[in-house]
Amino acid sequence: MAFLPFFISKQSKLKVIIVGGGYAGIAALTTLLRYAPDTEVILIDPGSYHLKITHLHETFRYPLTDLLVPFSELESRYGCRHISAKVMLDQALLQQYQITKQIRVGEEVLDFDYLLVATGCENRSERHHQDGVLSLSDFTASSGSELLTSLLDHQSNAGQYINVIGGGATGIQFLFEIKQFLARIRSKASLRLIHSGSRVLQQFPVAWSRYVETRMQEMDIMFCPDTYYCGQQTDTIRLKTKHTSEHFELPSSLSILFLGKKQENLFTANAFGQIVIDDGILGNIFVAGDCSQYQSLGSNSQTAQSAVRKGKLSARNILRHSGLFGLLEPYLHQELGYVVSLGSADAVGWLGSEMNIMTGVPAVAIKELVEAQFDLLLSGMDTYLV
């Protein structure tokens, strides 16, 4: 259970600015307005909608619009305000904001009592701008089915190769959705996974890798382990072996990059979510989500689960800090489970312990249950117990 969920306010109305409309920012917004409905919340995000990015691989089955929650809808539902703008933040600016309690957005100067930074973390492949190459950001603009159909409509399926680069959780989820999509449209294109590691899903137990690689073999997905991606050309992909540094090329029509997140522009926080700079605590500025590194026993994994928990905790601690007692709750959340989707009817994951491995329909059910929790939170119903 969350500790001390209620607070006794010292002032009639708080002004809170949240920078970032991802999982952490939305979790913080809904939590703030659940416990203190009269809070004046401004959400700053350059987009016009919240994207349920953990579902993005499913756009080979469903429209992209199913994953979009317009910020205008949240404005109407919660009485908050959305400003469409990109805010650049660094340590010097945050120290200044802590003193002035103001942030400039365009021509507007906004006053705040508390600022929450939830800007997320950029993917390594977001700025490729190269023909024959896609990355995760491309799927945020068009559905997977539209992107691949457009490609396949203009090229012969026979002898065509599609490469997925990266055998982490995101790459694996897209890999299996692409394979099933190709089967549904009766495409003869071949699918290949390029991965720099010796096995897929290296951050998880070996049993996960064995299960996934067995399913890949059954579905005729080619696997090139210990191989670095060097670039996509018109009809070939350039690769390099990890151990011998030998360069070679393979036929290729498309490469889709899932190279993970950049470990930069992270803000350090204490156990309560307040930003720490040069051993000094910015008491009125909190951070949550993938851009945060908490000095606590809680999980700092860059997952939606941790982002939501950090967002909710930061919101509660903002209210506590503003109250009469100012007693804050430490971040202690540990991952309760994790599931990687392998298409519409299969998955691999764990629940309670990484050694408690689940596959198939039970794993799919757990994933759907966890994701349904966030949908309920968006609608105003908080079912999170920890």
Which pLDDT tens digit goes with each residue over 357-384? Answer: 999 999 999 888 888 888 888 887 888 7
At 124 the pLDDT is 63
pLDDT tens string, the chain, 386 residues long: the values are 455 455 666 666 899 999 999 999 999 999 999 999 999 999 999 999 999 999 999 999 999 999 999 999 999 999 999 999 999 999 999 999 999 999 999 999 999 999 999 998 876 655 555 789 999 999 999 999 999 988 876 555 667 899 999 999 999 999 999 999 999 999 999 999 999 999 999 989 999 999 999 999 999 999 999 999 999 998 999 999 999 999 999 999 999 999 886 666 799 999 999 999 999 999 999 999 999 999 999 999 989 999 999 999 999 999 999 988 888 999 999 888 899 999 999 999 998 887 889 999 999 998 888 888 888 888 878 887 66
Strand partners, 276: 281
Angle of the 360-378 helix axis to the 304-322 helix axis, nearest 10: 30
Q: At what angle do helices 206-218 and 169-184 cross, to 10 degrees?
A: 20
In angstroms, the CA 276 to CA 286 distance is: 9
Q: How far apart are CA 276 and CA 71, in angstroms?
A: 30
| Domains contained in the chain, CATH given | 15-122+262-335 (3.50.50.60), 133-198+207-257 (3.50.50.60), 336-386 (no CATH)
165: amino acid identity, one letter: I
3-state SS, residue 124: coil
pLDDT, mean over the chain: 91
Largest CA distance in the chain: 70
Residue 35, C-beta contacts closer than 8 angstroms, at least 6 positions apart? 5, 6, 7, 315, 316, 319
- How many residues belong to the chain? 386
What DSSP designation does 60 have?
Answer: G
Q: What percent of the chain lies above the pLDDT cut of 70?
A: 92
pLDDT attached to residue 7:
60
Cβ–Cβ < 8 Å for 166, 182: no
3-state helix, strand, coil split of the chain in percent (to 5) is 30, 30, 40
Burial call 356-365: b when 16+ CB within 10 Å, e when fewer = ebbbeeebbe
Q: Check residue 1 and give its pLDDT.
A: 41
Q: Are 118 and 19 in contact (CB under 8 A)?
A: yes
Residue 119 CA to residue 18 CA, distance in Å, equals 9
What's residue 351's pLDDT? 87
What are 276's two structure tokens? 């720490």
Closest by CA position to 280, among listed 113, 91, 111 = 91
Tell me which residue of 301, 291, 264, 61 sits closest to 168, measured CA to CA. Answer: 301
This prediction's pTM: 0.92
